Structure 1
Amino acid sequence: MVTIKDVAKMAGVSIATVSRTLAEPDKVSEKTRKKVMEAVETSGYVANTLARNFRRRRSNMVVVLVPDIANPFFSNIIQGIERVASRHQYRILLGDTQGEQEREQAYADLVSQRQADGVICLGRNIPFRYRKGRKTLDPDWPPFAMACEYHGEIPVPTVCIDNVAAARDAVNHLLELGHQRIAYVNGPSESPLCEDRLQGYEQALREAGLTVEPALIKQGDFTLASGYDCTAALLAAENPPTALFCANDEMAIGAMQACHAAGLSLPGDMSVVGFDDIGFAAYTHPRLTTVHQPRNRIGEQVMTMMLAMLAGNTPADSRIVLPHELVVRESSAARG
């Protein structure tokens, strides 16, 4: 049976260094970590992780709360989290919460039960009970960070993009193409990011000297079906739009299908712009113009924040805003 002594000999380091590398990889150099991990892999060494974690009161597990695990938007974020976690000998436990606070709190309770060390939330809710009106972090809360949706008053470590600016860029693109009747299919009204994207849509129109028409704003729920239904309603109006901006790509794809069903050509009769740049966006017909979110980087950054907190450090930046990019494809064109 391979022992830690054998691993140390293969790597050319001390037993203490092997132990430190496996227990706290962030406290050794990249060169040392690489040597030790190569020796571990070559030798087939299996550490007694359960016993070690019991002594350290660590599980080396982080709970990741996902509002809807079926939504393809989250897959790349989870990949980024997993990549950084694995590099530091952590594993992730996914919780599909469907946005329900009770389920979020039940998963978060795994930390107090010593089944996890921290919580990353990809939704909009802080997964702990607290009094209404609170504006500070509770020192009794375990390490946790938010990504994507949160912008509340409590200064929770957060990774996101500027959704107002991103939406404004998308609408400005349509305005530059000569469109003036631009409709917006929003997501859930209670979602902070949807509030921001609506704000960006309205800002772009007003800055262009156009009136925001409530009739051109529809409420979806981020699904293909809601994008289809909202667009069908817009097309049935007496004075339909010439362009559509949707709060996510799934609704934009549904919108495109509604246009096809109505006999419209894209982008000849209707330009469509989405948000997120999910994998399917590059394979629609025509290919979807959309706002790209750096989802892998969001995942990597929020897990890096978590590791800092687990090491007893305060993240250098409590709110990291990553850059977005408008990806122009064939679903948008100059007004005919």
Structure 2
Amino acid sequence: MPADARRTTLATIARAAGVSVATVSKVVNGRSDVAPRTRARVLELLYQHDYLAPVFRHSEAPESPTIEVQFAEGLRSYVAEALEGVADAAAELGAAVVISKSSPAPHWARDLVAAGRRALIGVTSVYTTAYVNALARAGLPLVVLDPLHLPHSGVNSVGATNFAGGLAATQHLLSLGHRGIAYLGGPTLAASHQARAHGYRAAMEAAGAAVPSAYVRAGEFTYQAGLAGAAALLALPEPPTAVFAGNDEIALGAIEAARVRGLRIPEDLSVVGFDDTFLAQMASPPLTTVRQPLREMGGVALRTALRLANGEKVESHHIELATELVVRASTAPPHPRSAAGG
């Protein structure tokens, strides 16, 4: 710590903020009887002077803790179901939840603390080392729900058994007699995409089924990516007879791409998704998919955040909940005149 930081006292902060030493002490100790604007000004000065005292004494914390839940992208079906799990657990445990989109604004972590947040749950967001460090400096615990990727293993996170899910999806298609099976995944660097792809490849290798390079495509976890990716697959000289999609939205895009080409699901092309969101049952035909326990994951994330906010230790930095294959009507044995058969 710099020498000038060692000389910093509460009186120094109080003079700079134009408040009493008692007010600064209340902010340092997490007392609630300080106006939000004053609290934010004092916190800003504390960090400018590297006065990194704990922001909350948990014994003095509010009885109903408030947890911030942030997501980076649109409120898609996956995020909506995970948020419902967070909200259900919060209602059960008497906690409050504030939902927002990730903000690049300066001092955002300190602003959350000034607003009385006790912890942050991030849903499928990208967290850089700088982001994680800002939260640590603010004394705000972080729990990531289904992380895309994390800067280091010390970040607390909740996910699902993505490798096992990818393995089960591919084994299901293999058991139906498919050998030309493609994988349409998400962003290349996303941990969930990589794990699902590894499960797919492991099943194909164990069955002795070839995986042409053109059969594995990364993109985004969106309907549009599924539409474009499947169109490219079906235009190949030897198109696949089945597609394992990295999520339900990609799967629905693949089904539409097949429909545009005059192909039937599952007679001409079998499709398996991942997540088992409400979209899977609404698809035509209803989608065979790998169920992620999204609401349960949200509940675990909320409980973990509350434990961290209360200064408790957790047994593991990363918790994985089991996935399960749900077989519906979008998969069947390959037809003699299926996509790959010309």
User: Residue 129 of structure 1 aligns with which residue?
Assistant: 130
User: Residue 275 of structure 1 aligns with which residue?
Assistant: 274
Cα offset for 1:75?
1.1
Secondary structure at the aligned position of 1:77 is classed as helix
Residues in 2 aligned to 1:173 and 1:107: alpha-carbon distance in whole angstroms: 46
AA at the equivalent of 2:294: R
| Contact 1:63–1:107 (Cα < 8 Å) also in 2 | no
AA at the equivalent of 2:143: A
AA at the equivalent of 2:221: F
Residues in 2 aligned to 1:167 and 1:294: alpha-carbon distance in whole angstroms: 15
Secondary structure at the aligned position of 2:130 is classed as coil
Residues in 2 aligned to 1:112 and 1:127: alpha-carbon distance in whole angstroms: 20
Q: Deviations over 1:93-121 (max 9, x none)?
A: 22223xx8x36x86544334343111111
User: Residue 71 of structure 1 aligns with which residue?
Assistant: 76
| Contact 1:228–1:251 (Cα < 8 Å) also in 2 | yes
User: Residue 96 of structure 2 aligns with which residue?
Assistant: 91
Change (3 A) 1:214 1:106: farther
Written as runs of structure 1 = structure 2, the 5 A alignment for 1:17-56 is 51=33, 56=60
Cα offset for 1:151?
5.7
User: Residue 310 of structure 2 aligns with which residue?
Assistant: 311
User: Residue 11 of structure 1 aligns with which residue?
Assistant: none
User: Residue 290 of structure 1 aligns with which residue?
Assistant: 289
Aligned partner of 2:144 among 146, 149, 156: 146
Structure 1 residue ranges without an equivalent (≥5):
1-48
Aligned length: 280
AA at the equivalent of 2:130: R
Does 2:118 match 1:117?
yes
| Contact 1:108–1:127 (Cα < 8 Å) also in 2 | no
Change (3 A) 1:207 1:106: farther
User: Residue 172 of structure 2 aligns with which residue?
Assistant: 173
Larger mean CA deviation between 239-248 and 221-230 belongs to 221-230
Secondary structure at the aligned position of 1:129 is classed as helix
Structure 2 residue ranges without an equivalent (≥5):
1-30, 37-56, 336-342
User: Residue 233 of structure 1 aligns with which residue?
Assistant: 232
Cα offset for 1:212?
2.2
Larger mean CA deviation between 215-224 and 52-61 belongs to 52-61
User: Residue 15 of structure 2 aligns with which residue?
Assistant: none
Q: TM-score, normalised by structure 1?
A: 0.76
User: Residue 263 of structure 2 aligns with which residue?
Assistant: 264
Q: TM-score, normalised by structure 2?
A: 0.74
User: Residue 328 of structure 1 aligns with which residue?
Assistant: 327
The sequence identity of aligned pairs, in percent, is 31
Cα offset for 1:50?
6.4
Q: Deviations over 1:187-207 (max 9, x none)?
A: 111211111111111111111
User: Residue 218 of structure 1 aligns with which residue?
Assistant: 217
Residues in 1 aligned to 2:289 and 2:72: alpha-carbon distance in whole angstroms: 22
